Structure 1
């Protein structure tokens, strides 16, 4: 097997759809042995079918320690180290405004947002660290343009991505010198579903928001609406143990140029 990640063991959380799914495909093309932790049984089954069994799919919630531990164990080659971890699990707040939320809804939505978007990444890094340390591996977190600007979501989503932005810097120091930690911050992206908050009964998905792709295109310097696969090369670069050997604590903004 040839490629920048030939033979590398890789675990991706939330790899069953959207950007995570595109990243999984890119890792496969580069020769990686990919394991995915996916909460949705439907998306897990679709991923197995679409990759013809090339991806090892573990069904489970990335906020549950036992599920994460099962995925890490499955991803390690014969109990050896883990070369790379990518965290893509997340939920969206569909631009919910703080001023419109009742106190109870705010508490429930905030807890869900932090648990899925922040805690799942910290928990997975925590459980994967011993295996990553053995391999002198790396971690890539998934941020968002809303980790830099008040756009692309409401305050709940934005603050969760700001928290992950801080985690990149702190984890890069905390896990050094054995493990590199970086992130990709995609801008608005077409062809993604982005499930909403259950606490707010948000049953929308981003692909059904009218005019969304056009608004994204109008807000980028390159006048493009990025697709999930447009972000994947940034993830491949950060996972490459040779090409990104001295890169840690870095964030790649794949947003088409904010205007």
Structure 2
């Protein structure tokens, strides 16, 4: 897939992995980027400023993927601005930390929120942009997690939601074929504010130090490493329904 002068949509695209992906897409020659956000207005302004330096046209909009009207309104504004969509990166996600052993703490509200955002939200976005993606013979990349493959993580519900995203990837790859390819990336630990919010600055520093001793590549992933995998999948014209794990090889030693 030649990204030059294409239009890409990145949900949750103003912070962390989403921001790194938006910047990498611009560096790859994408002509227009639309990034949604929920609570990060300041980050959206910063992204606009950074992308302006690349010459890439940019649209940011507050759009909560947990609400279908908001997703469809976002899709409408993107098509009104750019007239096409070639790439969709489903990056928007959320979690609620609940210890694995605390089954009572994992109430219905947590399940509903995480599945609604992480799984149904990705489906809503794919559905809203599907006509434009089909017309452009485009591609979708979903951002899952290593938690889709193993027990642990921030909560049982989070891991289940990310595992469901892998099945959603396979189903969408079939449903949108032959015009649209759908793949996923599954990051391990990534140095973002998400991790520091979960573990604190010192807690995350300790986790990163432990990874540097145990992970085959001896370091913790940065958002830019996940963005590399996203762009790599966009360039693989005969690959669909697949997932790339981005964790420095940690999963081979779990």
Q: TM-score, normalised by structure 2?
A: 0.87
> Per the alignment, in what secondary structure is the counterpart of residue 169 of structure 2?
helix
The match for 1:93 is 96
Q: TM-score, normalised by structure 1?
A: 0.86
The match for 2:47 is 47
The alpha carbon displacement at 1:205 in A equals 4.1
**Higher mean C-alpha deviation, range 51-60 or range 116-125:** 51-60
Tell me if the contact between 1:81 and 1:135 (Cα under 8 Å) persists in the aligned partners. Answer: yes
**Higher mean C-alpha deviation, range 155-164 or range 212-221:** 212-221
The match for 1:129 is 130
Between the aligned partners of 1:8 and 1:24, the Cα distance in structure 2 is: 13
The alpha carbon displacement at 1:77 in A equals 7.0
Tell me if the contact between 2:99 and 2:154 (Cα under 8 Å) persists in the aligned partners. Answer: no
Tell me if the contact between 1:89 and 1:117 (Cα under 8 Å) persists in the aligned partners. Answer: yes
Matched, 1:215 2:217: no
Q: Which has the higher helix share?
A: 2
> Per the alignment, in what secondary structure is the counterpart of residue 100 of structure 1?
coil
Deviations, residues 29-73 of structure 1 (Å, cap 9, x unaligned): 011111101112232223223333842111121222232223223
The alpha carbon displacement at 1:215 in A equals 3.4
- The CA RMSD measured in Å over matched residues stands at 2.3
Matched, 1:118 2:119: yes
Alignment of 1:1-259 (within 5 A): 4-32=2-30, 33-40=32-39, 41-52=41-52, 54-76=57-79, 80-94=83-97, 96-102=98-104, 106-190=107-191, 192-194=192-194, 204-206=197-199, 208=201, 210=203, 211-240=206-235, 244-258=236-250, 259=253
Tell me if the contact between 2:66 and 2:121 (Cα under 8 Å) persists in the aligned partners. Answer: yes
Q: In the superposition, relative to structure 1, how do residues 30 and 44 fare at CA in structure 2: closer, same or farther (>3 Å)?
A: same
Q: In the superposition, relative to structure 1, how do residues 90 and 218 fare at CA in structure 2: closer, same or farther (>3 Å)?
A: farther
Q: In the superposition, relative to structure 1, how do residues 48 and 75 fare at CA in structure 2: closer, same or farther (>3 Å)?
A: same
Q: In the superposition, relative to structure 1, how do residues 7 and 206 fare at CA in structure 2: closer, same or farther (>3 Å)?
A: farther
The alpha carbon displacement at 1:221 in A equals 1.4
- Report how many aligned residue pairs link the two structures: 244
> Per the alignment, in what secondary structure is the counterpart of residue 248 of structure 1?
coil
Between the aligned partners of 1:233 and 1:252, the Cα distance in structure 2 is: 11
Between the aligned partners of 1:168 and 1:25, the Cα distance in structure 2 is: 24
The alpha carbon displacement at 1:206 in A equals 4.9
Between the aligned partners of 1:221 and 1:125, the Cα distance in structure 2 is: 35
Deviations, residues 89-127 of structure 1 (Å, cap 9, x unaligned): 111233x13542537x51111111111111110110011
Q: In the superposition, relative to structure 1, how do residues 77 and 219 fare at CA in structure 2: closer, same or farther (>3 Å)?
A: farther
